[in-house]
Structure 1
Amino acid sequence: MVKLADGIRVVDADAHMTERHDLFTERAPKGYEDRVPHVERIDGVDMWIVEGKAFGKAGSGGTVDHHGKKHPFRDSQGGSWGINDVHPAAWDPKERLRLMDELGIHTQVLYPNAIGIGGQNLRNSVQDPIVLRLCVELYNDAMAEVQAESGNRLLPMPIMPAWDIQACVQEAERCAALGYRGVNMTADPQDSGSPDLGDPAWDPFWEVCAGNQLPVHFHIGASQTALSYFGTTYWPSQDDYVKPAIGGASLFQNNSRVLLNSAYSGMFDRHPDLKMVSVESGIGWVPFMLEAMDYELEENAPEYFHKLQKRPSEYFASNWYATFWFEKGRGDLQHLVDTVGEDNIMFETDFPHPTCLHPDPLGMVGETIASLRPETQRKVMGGNAVKLYRV
């Protein structure tokens, strides 16, 4: 096995935790047990039910079985698997920690599954504003317990009530008090009736996030708009096993629009300490986009270009991070990392999703990572995340 540089404490900046069936009901106030998300068996299939309506299958949330073997998406997560078919580390925090020890991973940043990676499935399924806000708080309370009980080795990202800016401000403040190290935000709050993120109406939220050292995370597929990339980019004639590959790859490029819009919006001039993370989108597209965002704005809106305090591309270095896992930089990862910026990159595994590095994440990337300078290895494999998440 290829040996990495000494002193690396590996931080996995993107993994997922399948929601346990009793996650909401065990914390629900009396009288709300049947109104918050819970699981009922319908026609032989476990389904998530909220307010009397199904909003999705209570599936596995992963493709790794109990023996650590990965299966095609169509046969597992996207097929018939339920929570009992997936590796228990997908939903059990104690099993997750045990597996992390086995794999040599110290800390993991976690994102949801069934409720929508940005929490959007709740907004789409619940009409009562009291129940909707309760669902957000119950989920975030449960994940705060996971973090605390893990000794901050598991760092879930809490979901935000994106349909209500003031509620986001309040929930971010509450989550900071609970010890969270960031927030999980949808890229498209306009899907749920709020202004888009470039609107100055969001400034109070950015102020709270920056002031409490809560980086704002944009995971691919964290909105209905973003998910349209997954379901519409493949040609209908493609094989059913090929379609998820096309959809998944298309989602990566979708995050570039969040970087573009945020840099052009002026939000970082107003909130220079605000940090954002592009999650599960890779880094190979970043150098081209940094060039394109400068060129396009200066060509099309020169007056606005000169109103910004920095060149658009410079906001990536000062305010953004990106995660990567399988990329090799066309044989020269060090050049790619240097072009993107070694202080702005974090490693991820995406466990237990279809593209995760399993069953041996460090072994799978060991040779590629070993090609990096020792100091670069320390930063991208853990050091940057240790600093960002205060671990």
Structure 2
Amino acid sequence: MAPAEYRDRVPRVEEVDGRLMWVFDGQPVGRFSAGGVVARDGSKEESEIALHSWTIDQIHEGAYDPTVRLQVMDECGIDAQVIFPSTIGLGGQSLAMVEDERLRRLTVEIYNDRQAQIQADSGDRLLPLPLMPAWDVDACVYEARRVAALGARGVNMTSDPQDLGSPDLASPAWDPFWEACTEARLPVHFHIGASVTNMTFYGKYPWPSHPPSTRLAIGGTLLFIGNARVVANLLVSGVFDRHPDLKMVSVESGCGWIPFILEALDYEMAENAPSDLAKLRKPPSEYFRSNLYATYWFESNRHKLPALVESVGEDNILFETDFPHPTCLYPNPVERAQETMKSLSDETRRKILGENARKLYRL
């Protein structure tokens, strides 16, 4: 709970021009809406209808109620899930719109404390990742250590802290934060659309003449590829030479683009930046296997899947369901994945569907 003097300034729901909105320090930051396509009865609605008209009373309760979410997981055969934020930005980037530094820090701490409580109450089956105050490197170091003490198994980070006034993530200024995450065994997560820059591009991906539903499909497709930008920047930043045990995750972005991007980055660095490449201890592509994870859920060409897994690395892929978003596998995520993954060995399926995550998140 916020101190009395901040209670009317932290994010809250208010009616603005006849619509329920999230308001942060007096400024609307987004609709108080469902944010998913799975209805109360378990059916799935067309994205254009659900995302723009559904209220909280229409979305499946598992989208926001931890107790119901655990029931959904039991029904689907899911042991544990990593959970990401929405209204305040997939990387927490919307928090920086408020000038009051104390209010921003307080909001992050209240949010993260609540996530720790949800995790503890679930018996570590729900892992809602804490947000980092990315506008301040020292504050990130402090918060990473604080949430680690609360039991966090990872942190959620914006991909473009330079949008918020901090150095970009290739800067050695972030080394204390990377070290804190390495010491606490906190993998750093980059969700698609997790920055002001990414969401600005998202609005420009589709051509305006497309119908709204098609624009959503195009935007969603290219948000996946947008994380290629994040991965490419990280791989040549030198951060993994300085912090070889640091782990990072590209979230909700699929796997199919990864082999091409790794091959292209190796080639382009050799052709265009050979002196910079010489400063790295190994080719950019090799850092992916040692330090990065990708997420997999809907890619279904089973004949090509073994080659894809071999290229990305069977130890580097995590299964996701994306519940309750438009691309989710609900209502039968495990069955659908098992069908898609028939061409893989039993050992590889076990790794992707659970064992990689158990190891990464210390479950």
* TM-score interval, smaller chain: over 0.9
2:6 to 32, 43, 59: 32
Measure the CA separation in 2 of the matches of 1:94 and 1:330: 35
1:149 partner letter: D
Measure the CA separation in 1 of the matches of 2:274 and 2:268: 9
1:335 partner letter: A
> Which residue is equivalent to 1:293?
265
Tell me if the contact between 1:329 and 1:336 (Cα under 8 Å) persists in the aligned partners: no
1:75 partner letter: I
Say whether residues 1:306 and 2:278 are aligned partners: yes
1:71 to 14, 25, 45: 45
Tell me if the contact between 2:178 and 2:243 (Cα under 8 Å) persists in the aligned partners: yes
Measure the CA separation in 2 of the matches of 1:365 and 1:147: 26
> Which residue is equivalent to 1:344?
316
CA distances 1:28-87 after superposition (whole Å, capped 9, x unpaired): 11222101011112233211112112111111121111011111222112x121211100
Measure the CA separation in 2 of the matches of 1:282 and 1:50: 32
> Which residue is equivalent to 1:200?
172
Measure the CA separation in 1 of the matches of 2:201 and 2:48: 18
2:299 partner letter: E
Measure the CA separation in 2 of the matches of 1:389 and 1:229: 31
Tell me if the contact between 2:93 and 2:196 (Cα under 8 Å) persists in the aligned partners: yes
Counterpart of 1:202 in 2: which secondary structure? helix
> Which residue is equivalent to 1:61?
35
State the 4+ residue runs in structure 1 displaced beyond 4 angstroms.
none
Instruction: For 1:141-160, list aligned pairs within 5 A.
Output: 141-160=113-132
CA distances 1:273-301 after superposition (whole Å, capped 9, x unpaired): 00000001100001111111110001111
Measure the CA separation in 2 of the matches of 1:56 and 1:136: 18
Q: Could you tell me which runs of 5 or more consecutive residues in structure 1 were left unpaired when the two chains were aligned.
A: 1-26
> Which residue is equivalent to 1:95?
68
> Which residue is equivalent to 2:160?
188
Change (3 A) 1:330 1:374: closer
Counterpart of 2:212 in 1: which secondary structure? coil
Measure the CA separation in 1 of the matches of 2:222 and 2:179: 32
Larger mean CA deviation between 335-344 and 92-101 belongs to 335-344
Say whether residues 1:212 and 2:147 are aligned partners: no
Tell me if the contact between 1:46 and 1:82 (Cα under 8 Å) persists in the aligned partners: no
CA distances 1:70-114 after superposition (whole Å, capped 9, x unpaired): 11222112x121211100000000000011001100100000111
1:326 partner letter: F
TM-score, scaled to structure 2: 0.98
Counterpart of 1:247 in 2: which secondary structure? helix
Measure the CA separation in 2 of the matches of 1:119 and 1:129: 14
Tell me if the contact between 2:247 and 2:291 (Cα under 8 Å) persists in the aligned partners: yes
Change (3 A) 1:330 1:102: closer
Say whether residues 1:166 and 2:138 are aligned partners: yes
The CA deviation at 1:361 is 1.1
Measure the CA separation in 2 of the matches of 1:231 and 1:69: 28
> Which residue is equivalent to 1:43?
17
Report the identity percentage: 58
Instruction: For 1:1-391, list aligned pairs within 5 A.
Output: 27-77=1-51, 79-124=52-97, 126-329=98-301, 331-391=303-363
1:234 partner letter: P
Larger mean CA deviation between 301-310 and 281-290 belongs to 301-310
Aligned residues: 363
Counterpart of 1:41 in 2: which secondary structure? strand
The CA deviation at 1:377 is 0.4
Measure the CA separation in 2 of the matches of 1:113 and 1:164: 21
Which of structures 1 and 2 has the larger relative contact order (alpha carbons within 8 angstroms, sep 6+)?
A: 1
The CA deviation at 1:123 is 1.3
1:179 partner letter: G
Measure the CA separation in 1 of the matches of 2:8 and 2:343: 54
Counterpart of 2:203 in 1: which secondary structure? helix
Measure the CA separation in 2 of the matches of 1:375 and 1:389: 19
1:80 partner letter: S
CA distances 1:188-207 after superposition (whole Å, capped 9, x unpaired): 00010101000000000000
Measure the CA separation in 1 of the matches of 2:203 and 2:136: 27
The CA deviation at 1:330 is 6.0
Measure the CA separation in 2 of the matches of 1:161 and 1:224: 14
2:189 partner letter: H
Please report the RMSD computed on the Cα atoms of aligned residues, expressed in angstroms.
1.0
